[in-house]
A and B are shown apart, each in its own frame.
Chain A
Amino acid sequence: MADTRYIRAINKALADAMDADASVVLMGEDIADAGGSFKATRGLLDRFGPARVRDTPISEGAIVGAAVGAALGGLKPVVEIMFMDFVTLAMDALVNQAAKSRFMFGGQASVPMVVRLPHGGGLNAGPQHSQCLEAWFAHIPGLKVLCPATVEDAYSLLRAAIDDPDPVVFVENKALYAMAGDLPEEPARASIGKARIARQGSDVTLVTYGATLFNCLKAADALASDGISAEVVDLRSLQPWDKETVLGSVARTHRAVVAHEAVRSFGVGAEIAAVIGEEGFDDLDAPVGRVGAPFMPVPFARSLESRFIPDAAAIQAAVVASLA
């Protein structure tokens, strides 16, 4: 096991994918010479050359649109959008073009592309550089949506995303980039759509993804000292998501709370809570709880943002409420 950082795992996954497959190309703003705003692509220009690691102008719509065309043309583009917030300028390319091409052309061609989107707050970057917009993409038939929380998953899921024949929205939480963790020499291949039980428990199931995993684990520790045993399920993949693992866990614990950093209303948690309610109703001893950011844009000031992002205490409180 090698100790590395989340951002290094992303970097290694890109490099290994490029080594393994000559059709993998990278595009994005300041990703080549500068190695990316968060250094995800550091060193890759030197290793793979400018034809495969391409700096683009500030033209998100054309970058992602070009990725769709390049994917249809035999390449496997991996695009970096510097902050997830800027994907708004590329929504046509993703939603109307990438997601639908295979389907509407009668299955004639697939669109093997990945768009990497750093999301999340905690940097006091304000309303236009901090959002978690993944639920939008999970709502679009034709797109897959991944959000790895651990260093190993960052690597394995990015490899899986690049290998996947369909367009994948790959969401990375900026606050995790510096996080250290283990990356095995030969990381296991991940399959898209499989959740992981990050902690076993018997009284309540916490369903989560991305950076909120760590607040759930913290909450589970705190609950344990009060004699409450929480199971934590890390979804890893939001579209498709692992219904079997979640429902299986709820069948054992009889209670569930879904937690994420994104705004609670109309979020990923709403879908999961609804499916637990529909298909796991007989197993439930309490309504499914949801924890997410309050319904407002991400505020700038430290004092505001720190209360905006759901913390372990909020998750704990939701569990206590479901046990009441």
Chain B
Amino acid sequence: MNSRTAKKAIGGNSRLLDLHRTMLLIRATETALSKLFADGEIPGFIHLSLGQEAVAAGVCSALGPADTLATTHRGHGHVIARGIDLGGFFKELMGREGGQCKGRSGSMHVADMGLGILGANGIVGASVPLALGSALAHQTRATGGIAVAFFGDGAMAEGALHEALNMAALWSLPMIFVCENNGWSEFSPTARQFRGKLANIAGAFGIRHIHVDGNDAEATADAAREAADHARATGPVVLECMTTRFHGHFEGDPQKYRDSEEMAAMAAGDPVARSRARLIELGMAAADLDAIVSETEARVAAAVEASRADALPDFDATLADVYTPMGAH
């Protein structure tokens, strides 16, 4: 069954199938990255969002072409859900010429201005003021767009978040503050990092706070739609998505600080397994869902092969490209 007949089979729930496909693409991409990293094919360090796919898929499903986003060190899912070219993405992470950022950024700074992606970020909290400014540009230029700031629970401790909440409220900026609360910042649980409650902090600025199970793709998509409508019509809104980080802080982190109970509970909350079960409940055949997995994995494998074959970036051309060439704009 091809995807059109698959959609027909689940009636009005093609949205869930779309979300599921996006999540599968993130899952397949990051599963491949985990292996490539272990094999030494990805330099530097990478932070995977396995387990957090529903947040990326759900939030990006609410965005239109004019909208913009800024994300974090754990941003692969967001840029994939926004539609980044898979080839350019893998080439970037593998340090190739054809990378989306010409091999200069790697995992932590991957960006696609054409898609309104203002970059992943190596600095915790930095995405928030960037999105704030992007929202200011939307407002000033009347683009009709909104800006999304993805940030982790750990970033709640950075002053930048609090400063940006105030300014967004002051200026009624069209912006969603999306907190991906996975309960951990690096090797420390949120409870030992942050004494406030995001709902209360948002409330202190008169900003609406929406709380959602970020491992439920449909619920997250609904909440994101509501948040986006609010941002467009009224002003800033906080969307807090509760989710789960499956892997270590970075690949290679043995996670000795997490107890076995927490690790065991992960599978039960797996957002991809949950959407799959729901689709089957709605009448989709498991075999059709498996076929989508295979197609997705094949797409990822092809992108990896193309990256391997791509040239290495040229040093002199890179050095010559620190500033905008005269007359380029």
A and B: bona fide binding partners = yes
Chain A interface (Cβ < 8 Å from any Cβ of B): 29-30, 33-34, 37, 55, 57-62, 85-86, 88-89, 123-129, 294-297, 299-304, 307-308
CA of A10 to CA of B108, assembled, Å: 28
A88, A89, A300: the one contacting B44 at CB < 8 Å is A300
Contact status B125-A58, CB under 8 Å: yes
CB-CB under 8 A for A304 and B44, given A55-B188, A55-B192, A58-B155: no
The interface stretch among B53-61, B202-210, B292-300, B315-323 is B315-323
A37, A58, A124: the one contacting B193 at CB < 8 Å is A58
CB-CB under 8 A for A129 and B108, given A30-B186, A303-B312: yes
Contact status B322-A295, CB under 8 Å: yes
Quote the shortest CB–CB distance from A49 to chain B (angstroms). 16
CB-CB under 8 A for A85 and B187, given A57-B157, A301-B96, A303-B103: no
CA of A24 to CA of B131, assembled, Å: 40
8 inter-chain pairs at a CB distance below 8 angstroms, sorted by A residue, are: A33-B257, A34-B188, A58-B155, A88-B123, A123-B45, A128-B108, A300-B43, A301-B96
- For residue B154, CB closer than 8 A to chain A, the reply is yes
Contact status B185-A300, CB under 8 Å: no
- For residue B139, CB closer than 8 A to chain A, the reply is no
- For residue B106, CB closer than 8 A to chain A, the reply is yes
B45, B158, B313: the one contacting A58 at CB < 8 Å is B158
CB-CB under 8 A for A302 and B43, given A58-B158, A62-B159, A127-B109: yes
CA of A74 to CA of B313, assembled, Å: 52
CA of A296 to CA of B319, assembled, Å: 6
B108, B158, B322: the one contacting A59 at CB < 8 Å is B158
Contact status A125-B188, CB under 8 Å: no
Chain B interface (Cβ < 8 Å from any Cβ of A): 43-45, 95-96, 99, 103-106, 108-109, 121-125, 154-155, 157-159, 185-188, 192-194, 257, 312-313, 315, 318-319, 322
- Chain A interface mostly helix, strand, loop or mixed? loop
- Chain B interface mostly helix, strand, loop or mixed? loop
**Neighbouring A residues of B185 by C-beta, 8 Å:** 58
**Neighbouring A residues of B121 by C-beta, 8 Å:** 128
B44, B154, B157: the one contacting A125 at CB < 8 Å is B44
CA of A39 to CA of B163, assembled, Å: 33
Determine the residue in chain A with the shortest Cβ distance to B91.
A301
Q: Which 8 A-B pairs have the closest CB atoms?
A: A301-B95, A57-B157, A128-B122, A124-B43, A301-B103, A300-B106, A124-B44, A303-B312
CA of A59 to CA of B196, assembled, Å: 14
**Neighbouring A residues of B157 by C-beta, 8 Å:** 57-59
Contact status B43-A301, CB under 8 Å: yes
**Most chain A beta-carbon contacts within 10 A, residue among B121, B154, B193:** B193
**Neighbouring B residues of A37 by C-beta, 8 Å:** 186
Contact status A304-B122, CB under 8 Å: no
CB-CB under 8 A for A30 and B187, given A301-B95, A303-B315: yes
**Neighbouring B residues of A62 by C-beta, 8 Å:** 159
**Neighbouring B residues of A123 by C-beta, 8 Å:** 44-45
Contact status B106-A124, CB under 8 Å: yes
Quote the shortest CB–CB distance from B103 to chain A (angstroms). 4
**Most chain A beta-carbon contacts within 10 A, residue among B122, B159, B186, B194:** B122
Quote the shortest CB–CB distance from A132 to chain B (angstroms). 16
CB-CB under 8 A for A301 and B313, given A58-B185, A124-B106, A296-B318: yes
A88, A297, A302: the one contacting B322 at CB < 8 Å is A297
**Neighbouring A residues of B104 by C-beta, 8 Å:** 126-127, 297, 299-301, 304
CA of A85 to CA of B192, assembled, Å: 24
CB-CB under 8 A for A303 and B193, given A33-B257, A58-B124, A128-B123: no
CA of A249 to CA of B134, assembled, Å: 55
Quote the shortest CB–CB distance from B250 to chain A (angstroms). 10
Contact status A127-B313, CB under 8 Å: no
Contact status B95-A124, CB under 8 Å: yes
